[in-house]
Amino acid sequence: MRIAVIGGTGVYDPQILNDIRQEHVTTPYGEVDVMVGTYRDKEVAFLARHGTDHSVPPHLVNYRANITALKKLGVRNIIATAAVGSLNKAMKPGDMVFVDQFLDFTKSRAQTFFEGGPDGVVHIDMTEPYCPELRELLFNAAYDLRMRAHLGGTYACTEGPRFETPAEINMIRQLGGDLVGMTGVPEVVLAREAEICYATVTMVTNYAAGLQANRLTHEEVVEMMRTNTENLRRLIMHTIAAIDPERTCICQWAVSGPVQPVKE
């Protein structure tokens, strides 16, 4: 299968896929359960990032096992979802943002498949960390479906699992961050190292700490995701319908291919 969805907070259910079965994939990093189903004759893998019961916190997600499992299944395109807080007044709760850059404030996560020795040393290019073609497909789907969406934005990944302090949010804003979440990195980096096209649909669930009147709760994030799950599902299905499963892209030669010019 060529297409996978990594469901973040609030997106645990492969929903409208047909003929769903579970695949248990063994990787050098651990075991991974992936649901596999079909949508319009395309096989699609679905992986709940936090487990189906939200039992794995962001800093303990086994990102390397997840990406390796999808690679082993033959996946070439990943659409990931992520709940985010917004630091940008134009990106409102309920909006989707197809981010194009990230800032990394994580601290304790394995960031690479290439640990030296037999794995080698690789310094992966991150000029365009999210696949520009998948982002465009997502944006076109949002446009077709008349959903509020932004093509581009800078995602800041914090370590969590706590929310940020207002001082941290102020710092991130000064550094150019539009959105803040806890799971985007290193997932996006590992996908590129695995030569898989990867794009994230971020769903704004709240204004970040200090920018809204009330204190943040996980429940409010989950509730906002619940309200918008149907929109996310429709967007993802519309995008999957538009993906040519056999499409190729420069992301798929990120390690093995020649250096590529940045697209105009």
Residues that bind ligand HPA (CB under 6 A): 83-85, 158, 163-164, 180-182, 205-206, 208, 216, 221
User: In angstroms, what is the minimal distance from the CB of 5 to ligand HPA?
Assistant: 18
Three-class secondary structure of residue 229 per DSSP: helix
User: In angstroms, what is the minimal distance from the CB of 132 to ligand HPA?
Assistant: 25
User: In angstroms, what is the minimal distance from the CB of 123 to ligand HPA?
Assistant: 28
Which H or E run contains 171? helix 166-174
Task: Report the residue number, 44 or 216, with the smaller CB distance to ligand HPA.
Answer: 216
Residues sharing a CB contact under 8 Å with residue 171, sequence separation 6 or more, in sequence order: none
Task: Report the residue number, 15 or 183, with the smaller CB distance to ligand HPA.
Answer: 183
Task: Report the residue number, 210 or 245, with the smaller CB distance to ligand HPA.
Answer: 210
Task: Report the residue number, 68 or 158, with the smaller CB distance to ligand HPA.
Answer: 158
Residues sharing a CB contact under 8 Å with residue 251, sequence separation 6 or more, in sequence order: 131, 192, 195, 196, 197, 198
Task: Report the residue number, 90 or 122, with the smaller CB distance to ligand HPA.
Answer: 90
Write the single-letter amino acid at 137: L
Number of residue whose CB is nearest ligand HPA: 85
User: In angstroms, what is the minimal distance from the CB of 86 to ligand HPA?
Assistant: 8
User: In angstroms, what is the minimal distance from the CB of 8 to ligand HPA?
Assistant: 9
Task: Report the residue number, 95 or 193, with the smaller CB distance to ligand HPA.
Answer: 95
Task: Report the residue number, 74 or 166, with the smaller CB distance to ligand HPA.
Answer: 166
Q: Give the distance from CA 57 to its chain's centroid.
A: 15
Residues sharing a CB contact under 8 Å with residue 111, sequence separation 6 or more, in sequence order: 185, 186, 189, 190
Q: What DSSP character marks residue 261?
A: P
Name the β-bridge partners of 202: 82, 97
For residue 209, give Cα distances in angstroms to 102, 142, 151: 19, 28, 24
User: In angstroms, what is the minimal distance from the CB of 180 to ligand HPA?
Assistant: 4
For residue 137, give Cα distances in angstroms to 2, 148, 199, 222, 240: 16, 15, 10, 26, 9
User: In angstroms, what is the minimal distance from the CB of 205 to ligand HPA?
Assistant: 5
